[in-house]
Amino acid sequence: MNVTQDLSILHLIINASAVVQIVMAILAGVSVMSWYYIFMKWFAVRQARTKTEVFERDFWSGGDLNSLYNSAVNDRHHAGSMERIFEAGFREFAKLKTQKNLDPKDVVDGSRRAMRATYQREVDGLEAHLAFLASVGSVSPYIGLFGTVWGIMHSFRGLANVGQATLSAVAPGIAEALVATAIGLFAAIPAVLAYNRFAHDIDRLSIRYESFMEEFSNILQRQMR
Amino acid sequence: MILERPEEPGKKYALAFTILVHVGLIAALFLGVQWKRSAPEVMDVELWSSKPTPATYVPPPPPQPEPEPEVKPEPKPVPKIEPKPEPLPPKKPDIVVKEEKKPPKPEPKKPEPKPEPPKPEPKKPEPKVPDFSKELARETATKQPRPSTQQMANAAAAESEQRASSNRRGLESYSTKIRIKIRGNIVLPPNIQGNPEAVFTVDQLPTGEVLAVKLKRSSGNPGLDQAIERAILKSSPLPKPDDPALFQRSLEIKYKPLEE
């Protein structure tokens, strides 16, 4: 045992036992992935919200439905989710309207079904990877805890060989082990926060889409007369 | 009807931000978490009160009147240390190296390590007891700080004294190392009254392994004596000095339980 003992973080990580090191590596990877998804979701949700707002403004400003539809079709790659829902509904509506022997109710129902299908796809796309964030948030503290428990077990077993228990004999081992918990918490806390935030945002967006679908169905029904 | 979904926005940004966050975290960990346990600083006190030298001494002009190569060393430390005469005596190290068992030293130039304020070596030009008032009077009279032989001798003496003090410092850090190691291994008995000092004689191998521990002077508490003896045996191998010349086969270890 040295008189001067370096307890910097690098030293702790290098000196940790293999299991703890594996746990730390897993947690580091999980942390990187979860932060990647957090940022990606963040951009995606923000973009979906601004595009929805732009489209709602265009839609309720009383423009021609046909021109809106055309712009949605032509600019498909930049269209937001709500625009795509509108596009699917209006396309179905236009197709069904040309068939003479159909009940107006069926036409509206058909377009609503098309809209619902697109809506589900869109919400599914928005919710992608949220489950990963939820799992990271709930599981990575346990992984870190496992690493810590293992490391502490290890250092206590080493203590048995020392014979005389001094704090300086166990302290480095415990510090090493606690690094695993720290990394686990670092991965988990943002993941939980982001999961709750995004779930809430996506819920609100999907409510907006659903109310838009209802309102648009009413407009189509009025057009059938 | 499957519409191709547009590309997820901001993949590159997300990656960049992710890397940024983790680099920030790692930097915070490395900079913020620097737990270090280090030995207490060895007190570095130099006694200069016995050798007064003029404070207004400037480095000698290039053409030296008496160029003696042996006594040439830069008299720099003299003006630097002179203005702070430390009244503190140097901390007496707990480990006193026994003089009689000293092995032949590889460097005979070094003065003998002694805990007392070191005397300059006899080999060096020994200054006479500096006739301080005379010199000062002459100094003020001439107003020309010339490096006289007396001053040169002073400087040489100062240098040898500094070397001695660095040697003493090494000895003191050595003794501190040993003491810290022993302290880490000791289990003090519960009933210690006061701060009694025990003196042990320890024979060690060149590798630092303890051969024998002999109680020289008891602390008055047999339990404490045994505890210290066990701690010394457990501390084997003892730490080595930074300067190999300071190594001694036989050490005298004074140990106080409540020292700090």
Q: pLDDT tens digit string along B104-144?
A: 545 545 455 445 554 445 454 555 555 566 666 665 555 55
Task: Kindly report the nearest CA distance between residue B244 and chain A, in angstroms.
Answer: 18
Binning pLDDT at 50, 70 and 90, where does residue B158 land? confident
- DSSP one-letter code for A78: G
pLDDT of amino acid B237: 81
d(CA A45, CA A53): 12
Residues of A in CB contact (< 8 Å) with B are 1, 3-10, 31-32, 35-40, 42-44, 47, 76-79, 84, 88, 114, 118, 125, 164, 166, 168, 175, 186
* Residue B112: both structure tokens together: 């003998």
Task: Kindly report the nearest CA distance between residue A1 and chain B, in angstroms.
Answer: 9
Mean pLDDT of B191-209: 81
User: What secondary structure does DSSP assign to A30-72, as a single string?
Assistant: HHHHHHHHHHHHHHHHHHHHHHHHHHHHHHHTT--HHHHHHHH
d(CA B230, CA B253): 13
pLDDT of amino acid B89: 53
CB-CB under 8 Å, B187 with A40: no
- DSSP one-letter code for B62: S
- The residue assigned the tokens 């890397």 is B19
CB-CB under 8 Å, B239 with A6: no
* Residue B260: both structure tokens together: 């700090």
B213: three-class secondary structure by DSSP: strand
Task: Kindly report the nearest CA distance between residue B17 and chain A, in angstroms.
Answer: 7
CB-CB under 8 Å, B9 with A35: no
Residue B15 has its nearest CB partner, among A1, A4, A36, at A36
d(CA A145, CA A141): 6
B6 in contact with A at a CB cutoff of 8 Å?
yes
- DSSP one-letter code for B188: -
Name the H helices within chain A: 9-15, 18-60, 65-74, 81-98, 104-127, 130-162, 167-224
User: What secondary structure does DSSP assign to B81-146, as a single string?
Assistant: HTT----SPPPPPSEEE-STTPPPPS-TTSPPP-SSPPPPPSSS-PPPS--HHHHHHHHHHH----
Chain B: residue whose CA lies nearest to A45: B9
Dihedral (Cα; A95, A101, A103, A108), 10-degree rounding: 0
Binning pLDDT at 50, 70 and 90, where does residue B78 land? very low
B119: three-class secondary structure by DSSP: coil
**Which mean pLDDT values do the consecutive 10-residue runs of chain A (225 residues) have?**
56 82 92 93 92 90 84 81 91 88 87 94 91 94 93 83 72 83 91 95 94 92 82
Q: Are B199 and B95 in contact (CB under 8 A)?
A: no
pLDDT of amino acid A123: 93
pTM above 0.90, yes or no: no
CB pairs under 8 A between A and B: 82
Vertex B111 angle, CA B98 and B156, to 5°: 160
* Residue A186: both structure tokens together: 């670092």
